[in-house]
Structure 1
Amino acid sequence: GFHLSGTVTEPAMQSEPETVCNVAISFDRCKITSVTCSCGNKDIFYCAHVVALSLYRIRKPDQVKLHLPISEKLFQMNRDQLQKFVQYLITVHHTEVLPTAQKLADEILSQNSEINQVHGAPDPTAGASIDDENCWHLDEEQVQEQVKLFLSQGGYHGSGKQLNLLFAKVREMLKMRDSNGARMLTLITEQFMADPRLSLWRQQGTAMTDKYRQLWDELGALWMCIVLNPHCKLEQKDSWLKHLKKWNSVDVCPWEDGNHGNELPNLTNALPQGANANQDSSNRPHRTVFTRAIEACDLHWQDSHLQHIISSYLYTDYCYHDNTENSLFDSHGWPLWHEHVPTACARVDALRSHGYPQEALRLAIAIVNTLRRQQQKQLEMFQSQKKELLHKGVTSITNLEGWVGHPLDPIGTLFSCLMEACRVDDESFHGFSDFTENVGQCKSLEYRHLPAHKFLEEGESYLTLAVEVALIGLGQQRIMPDGLYAQEKVCRNEEQLIFKLQDIALDDTLVKIFRKQVVFLLEAGPYSGLGEVAHRESVPMHTFAKYLFTSLLPHDAELAYKTALRAMRLLVLESTASSGDVSRPHHIASVVPNRYPRWFTLSHIESQQCELASTMLSAAKGDVRRLETVLESIQKNIHSSSHIFKLAQDAFKIATLMDSLPDITLLKVSLELGLQVFPL
Structure 2
Amino acid sequence: RSPESLLDIAARKVAEKWPFQRVEERFERIPEPVQRRIVYWSFPRSEREICMYSSFNTGGEESATSGENVDETRLPFRRGIALLESGCVDNVLQVGECFHLSGTVTEPATTSEPEMVCSVAISFDRCKITSVTCGCGNKDIFYCAHVVALSLYRVRRPEQVKLHLPISETLFQMNRDQLQKFVQYLITVHHTEVLPTAQKLADEILSQNSEINQVHGAPDPTAGASVDDENCWHLDEEQVQEQVKLFLSQGGYHGSGKQLNLLFSKVREMLKMRDSNGARMLTLITEQFMADPRLALWRQQGTTMTDKYRQLWDELGALWMCIVLNPHCKPEQKAAWLRQLKKWNSVDVCPLEDGNHGNELPNLTNALPQGAHDLGTRPHRTVFTRAIEACDLHWQDSHLQHIINDDLYTNYCYHDNTENSLFDSRGWPLWHEHVPTACARVDALRSHGYPREALRLAIAIINTLRRQQQKQLELFRNHKKDLLHKGVTSITNLEGWVGHPLDPIGTLFSTLMETGRGELHLFPSTRRFLEEGESYLALAVETALMGLGQQRIMPDGLYAQEKVCRNEEHLIAKLQEVDLDDTLVKIFRKQAVFLLEGGPYSGLGELIYRESVPMHTYAKYLFTCLLPHDAELAYKIALRAMRLPVLESTAPSGDMSRPHHIVSVVPNRYPRWFTLSHIESQQCELASTMLTAAKGDARKLETVLESIQKNIHSSSHIFKLAQDAFKIATLMDSLPDITLLKVSLELGLQVMRMTLSTLNWRRREMVRWLVTCATEVGVYALDSIMQSWFTLFTPTEATSIVATTVMSNSTIVRLHLDCHQQENLASSARTLALQCAMKDPQNCALSALTLCEKDHIAFETAYQIVLDAATTGMSYTQLFTIARYMEHRGYPMRAYKLATLAMVHLNLSYNQDTHPAINDVLWACALSHSLGKNELAAIIPLVVKSVKCATVLSDILRRCTLTTPGMVALHSRRNSGKLMSLDKAPLRQLLDATIGAYINTTHSRLTHISPRHYSEFIEFLSKARETFLMAHDGHIQFTQFIDNLKQIYKGKKKLMMLVRERFG
| Shared fold, TM over 0.5 | yes
Match of 1:399 in 2: 493
Match of 1:270 in 2: none
Match of 1:660 in 2: 734
Match of 1:140 in 2: 237
Residue 453 of structure 1 pairs with residue 453 of structure 2: no
Query: Quick one: which of 417, 423, 434 aligns to 1:323?
Result: 417
Contact 1:452-1:461 at 8 Å conserved across structures: no
Partner Cα separation in structure 1 for residue 411 and residue 739 of structure 2: 60
Secondary structure, in 3 states, of the residue corresponding to 2:124? strand
Partner Cα separation in structure 2 for residue 509 and residue 535 of structure 1: 33
Query: Quick one: which of 606, 627, 636 aligns to 2:680?
Result: 606
Contact 2:354-2:559 at 8 Å conserved across structures: yes
Match of 2:78 in 1: none
Query: Quick one: which of 578, 590, 598 aligns to 2:652?
Result: 578
Query: Quick one: which of 555, 563, 576 aligns to 1:481?
Result: 555
CA displacement, residues 79-121 of structure 1 (integer Å, 9 cap, x when unaligned): 3322221221222223333343344344444445443443322
Percent sequence identity over aligned pairs: 88
Matches within 5 A, 1:285-324: 285-324=379-418
Structure 1 residue 10, shift from structure 2 partner: 1.4
Partner Cα separation in structure 1 for residue 315 and residue 158 of structure 2: 42
| Structure 1 letter corresponding to 2:354 | D
Residue 29 of structure 1 pairs with residue 126 of structure 2: yes
Matches within 5 A, 1:93-112: 93-112=190-209
| Structure 2 letter corresponding to 1:547 | Y
Residue 203 of structure 1 pairs with residue 297 of structure 2: no
Matches within 5 A, 1:326-337: 326-337=420-431
Matches within 5 A, 1:223-242: 223-242=320-339
Query: Quick one: which of 274, 279, 288 aligns to 1:177?
Result: 274
Structure 1 residue 323, shift from structure 2 partner: 1.0
Match of 1:75 in 2: 172
Secondary structure, in 3 states, of the residue corresponding to 1:17? coil
Change beyond 3 A, Cα 1:577–1:218? closer
Contact 1:193-1:253 at 8 Å conserved across structures: yes
Match of 2:456 in 1: 362
Partner Cα separation in structure 2 for residue 283 and residue 318 of structure 1: 41
| Structure 1 letter corresponding to 2:128 | K
Partner Cα separation in structure 2 for residue 669 and residue 106 of structure 1: 104
| Structure 1 letter corresponding to 2:264 | F
Structure 1 residue 395, shift from structure 2 partner: 2.0
Match of 2:604 in 1: 530
Match of 1:249 in 2: 346
Structure 2, unaligned stretches of length 5 or more?
1-96, 361-375, 656-667, 754-791, 793-1064
Residue 645 of structure 1 pairs with residue 750 of structure 2: no
Structure 1 residue 577, shift from structure 2 partner: 4.7
Match of 2:144 in 1: 47
| Structure 1 letter corresponding to 2:537 | L
| Structure 2 letter corresponding to 1:136 | W
Residue 472 of structure 1 pairs with residue 546 of structure 2: yes
Structure 1, 390-399 or 571-580: larger mean CA deviation: 571-580
CA displacement, residues 389-412 of structure 1 (integer Å, 9 cap, x when unaligned): 111212221000000000000000
Secondary structure, in 3 states, of the residue corresponding to 2:102? strand
Contact 2:456-2:526 at 8 Å conserved across structures: no
Pairwise CA RMSD? 2.1
Matches within 5 A, 1:333-352: 333-352=427-446
Contact 2:489-2:652 at 8 Å conserved across structures: no
Partner Cα separation in structure 2 for residue 128 and residue 92 of structure 1: 28
Partner Cα separation in structure 1 for residue 511 and residue 585 of structure 2: 21
Secondary structure, in 3 states, of the residue corresponding to 2:163? coil
Partner Cα separation in structure 1 for residue 166 and residue 508 of structure 2: 51
Structure 1 residue 4, shift from structure 2 partner: 0.7
Partner Cα separation in structure 2 for residue 65 and residue 643 of structure 1: 77
Structure 1 residue 260, shift from structure 2 partner: 5.4
Residue 217 of structure 1 pairs with residue 314 of structure 2: yes
After TM superposition, the runs of 4+ consecutive aligned structure 1 residues lying more than 6 A away are none
Partner Cα separation in structure 1 for residue 653 and residue 158 of structure 2: 75
Secondary structure, in 3 states, of the residue corresponding to 2:529? coil
Matches within 5 A, 1:368-383: 368-383=462-477
Higher percent of residues as helix: 2
Change beyond 3 A, Cα 1:452–1:232? closer
Secondary structure, in 3 states, of the residue corresponding to 2:380? coil
Partner Cα separation in structure 2 for residue 305 and residue 602 of structure 1: 44
Match of 1:444 in 2: none
Query: Quick one: which of 531, 554, 558 aligns to 2:632?
Result: 558
Query: Quick one: which of 251, 255, 272 aligns to 1:154?
Result: 251
Contact 2:272-2:449 at 8 Å conserved across structures: yes
Partner Cα separation in structure 1 for residue 459 and residue 306 of structure 2: 37
| Structure 1 letter corresponding to 2:694 | A
| Structure 2 letter corresponding to 1:671 | L
| Structure 1 letter corresponding to 2:548 | L
Residue 193 of structure 1 pairs with residue 287 of structure 2: no
Partner Cα separation in structure 2 for residue 94 and residue 579 of structure 1: 94
Q: How many pairs align?
A: 630
CA displacement, residues 514-572 of structure 1 (integer Å, 9 cap, x when unaligned): 00111111100000001111000110000000000011111110000000000000011
Query: Quick one: which of 419, 423, 426 aligns to 2:513?
Result: 419
Secondary structure, in 3 states, of the residue corresponding to 2:446? helix
CA displacement, residues 21-70 of structure 1 (integer Å, 9 cap, x when unaligned): 11111111111111111110011111111110011111111110000101
| Structure 1 letter corresponding to 2:535 | S
TM superposition score normalised by structure 1: 0.90
Structure 1 residue 317, shift from structure 2 partner: 0.2
| Structure 2 letter corresponding to 1:65 | K
Match of 1:584 in 2: none
Partner Cα separation in structure 2 for residue 260 and residue 452 of structure 1: 42
Secondary structure, in 3 states, of the residue corresponding to 2:129? strand
Match of 1:440 in 2: none
Structure 1, 547-556 or 569-578: larger mean CA deviation: 569-578
Secondary structure, in 3 states, of the residue corresponding to 1:329? coil
Contact 2:357-2:380 at 8 Å conserved across structures: no
TM superposition score normalised by structure 2: 0.58
Change beyond 3 A, Cα 1:149–1:117? farther
Match of 2:617 in 1: 543
Change beyond 3 A, Cα 1:23–1:467? same
Match of 1:619 in 2: 693
Secondary structure, in 3 states, of the residue corresponding to 2:382? coil
| Structure 2 letter corresponding to 1:605 | I
Structure 1, unaligned stretches of length 5 or more?
267-281, 433-448, 582-593
Secondary structure, in 3 states, of the residue corresponding to 1:454? helix
Contact 2:357-2:557 at 8 Å conserved across structures: no
Secondary structure, in 3 states, of the residue corresponding to 2:121? strand
Secondary structure, in 3 states, of the residue corresponding to 2:413? coil
Partner Cα separation in structure 1 for residue 210 and residue 339 of structure 2: 38
Match of 1:629 in 2: 703
Contact 2:407-2:526 at 8 Å conserved across structures: no
Partner Cα separation in structure 2 for residue 388 and residue 121 of structure 1: 87
Secondary structure, in 3 states, of the residue corresponding to 1:34? strand
Structure number with bigger Rg? 2
